[in-house]
Amino acid sequence: MTRIKSVRTRVWNWTGPTVPPAGNFCTNASDVIHRGGDAMGSFRFHQWLTCEIETEDGTIGIGNAALAPTVVKKAIDDWFAPLVIGEDPFDYAYIWEKMYRRSHAWGRKGIGMTAISAIDIAIWDLMGKLAGKPVFKLLGGRTKEKIPVYYSKLYSGPVESMQAEAEEAKKHGYTGYKMRFGWGPKEGMAGLRENLKRVEAVREVIGYDADLMLECYMGWNLDYAKRTLPKLAKYEPRWLEEPVIADDVAGYAELNAMNIVPISGGEHEFSVIGCKDLIEKKAVSVLQYDTNRVGGITAAQKINAIAEAFQVPVIPHAGQMHNYHLTMANTNCMISEYFPVFDVEVGNELFYYIFEGDPEAKNGFLQLDDDLPGLGIVITDKHLQHFEIEE
Ligand SMILES: O=C(O)C(=O)C[C@@H](O)CO
Ligand SMILES: [Mg+2]
C-alpha cells in the first residue's frame, strides 16, 4: 500500500488573448442587478485550479476545479490537505466523509465542496494509475461503444453569426446543439422576441432531427420563464437550462411541472444530498452536476445511482475528463456536453490550455481509451507563456 504524502495546488491565471463578449452574449444571474459596466463579471472564468496528489511511491493524481480557484486553493492548503496526507487513496469513501464532515459547518456547498471535488478527482486519477485501469473501468466499465456529445457554444449574437456558427458546427456531425439566450426579464417583450428569433434561426439551420438545448444560465426569473415556455414549445427544445437562480428550487419545480419543455439544471448544486433534493422535488428533468463542483467522482457516482432509480437522466455540465468517465460508466448518462476548442472567451475553454489528453469529438462522438490508466490527462507546458501560476 502506498499512502498520500503531498498535495500540491496551483492557480493558473490566464494572461493570454481573450475574445471580448459581445453585448447580450448570455443572460446570467447578475443581470437583475446590472446597472451598466461589465454584466459578464460573474460569468468569466479566466483562472483554473490544479490539485496534484502524490503518494509515497511517486504516483501523482491530478484533480481540478474552475470555481473561485484562489479561494479553493486556500481551503485545500489550509483545511483539506492535512486531512488526506497519510491516508491510503483506496480508502476514498472514508477520505470523502472525513473532508465532508470535518468541514460540515461551512463546506457543504460552494467553495468547500469544490475543494473536496478537486481532491477527490485527484484521488480517483491516482487509484486508476495505481490499479493500471482507466477510471471508468473502476466505476462500471464501458457502457457505450463511444460517447455521443452535443455542441455547446452558440452564445447569443447577431442572427447571421449564430446561423453561420451552427452551419459550421453541423459539418462536424453533432446531433445536439446548445445555444445561449441574450435577453431576460429586464428587456421585456422586445428582448423575448430577440430570443425567439434566434431559436427559430438556429432551428432553421440544424433542422428538427437534432436536439436543441436552450441555456439561460440563471438569467431569467419564474415569471418570465412561465410566460416564455409556451412560446418556445413549437421549437421542440430538448431542455431549458437554469432558467432561475440555483436557490429557487421551487421555481424549477413549478416550471418543470408545466411539462412544456424539460427543465435542466444542477451545475450550481453541490453534494449528494443537494442533488437528491433536486431529483426528489422534481425540480429538473435532466440533472447536470459538474464533477469538479458536486463532490468529485465519489459523490457523482452516488448521485448517478439515485438519478437512475428516479429515471432522471444525468448529463454533466461541461465536458472534460472528470465528467466523461462517469458518462462512459453509466447507462443513465447518455450523452456529454462538449465545448469545441476555441479561443479563450468565457473560460470553459481553459481546460484545453492546461491539460492534454481530453478527447476531441469526431463526427459527434468521443472515445475513451480502455488501456490508459487514471483519467488519461496530463498537465501540459505548451501554453505556459499565457499563464501566471500561483503555487
Ligand atoms: O455549459 C454550460 O452549461 C454552462 O453553464 C457554461 C457557461 O458558459 C454558460 O453557458
Ligand atoms: Mg449551463
Q: What tens digit of pLDDT does each residue of 51-78 get?
A: 999 999 999 999 999 999 999 999 999 9
Domain assignment present for 64: yes
Q: Over 80: is that where the pLDDT of 40 sits?
A: no
Decide whether any atom of ligand 1 lies within 6 Å of the 120 Cβ. Answer: no
Q: How confident is the model at residue 19 (pLDDT cuts 50, 70, 90)?
A: confident
Q: Quick one: 337 and 367 in the same domain?
A: yes
Of 367, 351, 370, the closest CA to residue 359 belongs to: 367
Q: Which residues contact 244 (CB under 8 A, 6 or more apart)?
A: 218, 220, 221, 222, 225, 251, 252, 255
Residue 46: active-site member: no
Domain assignment present for 87: yes
Q: Quick one: 191 and 317 in the same domain?
A: yes
Mean pLDDT of 7-21: 93
Q: Quick one: 125 and 32 in the same domain?
A: yes
Question: 298 and 92 in contact (C-beta within 8 Å)?
Answer: yes
Tally Cβ neighbours within 10 Å of residue 342.
Answer: 11
Of 296, 357, 290, 286, the closest CA to residue 319 belongs to: 290
Cα–Cα dist 123/117, whole Å: 10
Q: What tens digit of pLDDT does each residue of 231-290 get?
A: 999 999 999 999 999 999 999 999 999 999 999 999 999 999 999 999 999 999 999 999
Question: 275 and 281 in contact (C-beta within 8 Å)?
Answer: no
Mean pLDDT of 368-382: 98
Tell me which H or E stretch contains 7: strand 4-14
Decide whether any atom of ligand 1 lies within 6 Å of the 346 Cβ. Answer: yes
Distance from the CA of 11 to the center of ligand 2, in angstroms? 23
Domain assignment present for 384: no
Domain assignment present for 43: yes
| Residue 255 CB-density burial (10 A; 0-12 exposed, 13-18 middle, 19+ buried) | buried
Report the percent of the chain where pLDDT is more than 90: 91
Q: What tens digit of pLDDT does each residue of 98-119 get?
A: 999 999 999 999 999 999 999 9
Cα–Cα dist 265/273, whole Å: 15
Q: Quick one: 67 and 170 in the same domain?
A: no
Domain assignment present for 39: yes
Alpha-carbon torsion, ordered 328, 113, 179, 309, to 10 deg: 50
Picking from 92, 111, 132, the residue at the C-terminal end of a domain is 132
Catalytic residue among 46, 104, 268, 317: 317
Decide whether any atom of ligand 1 lies within 6 Å of the 267 Cβ. Answer: yes
Cα–Cα dist 245/222, whole Å: 9
Q: Over 90: is that where the pLDDT of 49 sits?
A: yes
Residue type present at position 384: L
Query: So what's the pLDDT on residue 22?
Result: 76
Picking from 82, 105, 132, the residue at the C-terminal end of a domain is 132
List the grid coordinates of 281: 422535488
What ligand 1 atom has the least distance to the C-alpha of 155? 10
Q: How confident is the model at residue 5 (pLDDT cuts 50, 70, 90)?
A: very high
Q: Residue 70, by phi and psi: left (phi above 0), alpha (psi -120 to 50) or beta? A: alpha
Query: So what's the pLDDT on residue 391?
Result: 95
Ligand 1 mutation pick, 267, 287, 314, 351, max ligand atoms within 8 A of CB: 267
Domain assignment present for 387: no
Cα–Cα dist 173/318, whole Å: 19
Q: Quick one: 240 and 358 in the same domain?
A: yes
DSSP label of 202: H
Query: So what's the pLDDT on residue 389?
Result: 98
Query: So what's the pLDDT on residue 38?
Result: 64
Q: Over 80: is that where the pLDDT of 217 sits?
A: yes
CATH of the domain at 116: 3.30.390.10
Assessment of whether the complete model's pTM goes beyond 0.80: yes
Q: Over 70: is that where the pLDDT of 42 sits?
A: no
Q: Quick one: 296 and 166 in the same domain?
A: yes
Q: Quick one: 21 and 56 in the same domain?
A: yes
Number of domains the chain is built from: 2
Give, rounded to a whole angstrom, the gap between the first and last alpha carbons of the chain.
29
Helix axes 296-309, 111-131, angle to 10 degrees: 100
Q: What tens digit of pLDDT does each residue of 328-362 get?
A: 999 999 999 999 988 888 888 899 999 999 999 99
The three-class DSSP label of residue 241 is strand
Question: 195 and 182 in contact (C-beta within 8 Å)?
Answer: yes
Task: Quote the mean pLDDT of the chain.
Answer: 96
Domain assignment present for 390: no
Decide whether any atom of ligand 1 lies within 6 Å of the 317 Cβ. Answer: yes
| DSSP bridge partners of 21 | none
Residue bearing the bigger pLDDT, 164 or 36 = 164
What ligand 1 atom has the least distance to the C-alpha of 288? 3
Q: Over 80: is that where the pLDDT of 312 sits?
A: yes
ipTM score for this prediction: 0.97
Range of the domain at 282: 138-379
Tally Cβ neighbours within 10 Å of residue 92.
Answer: 21
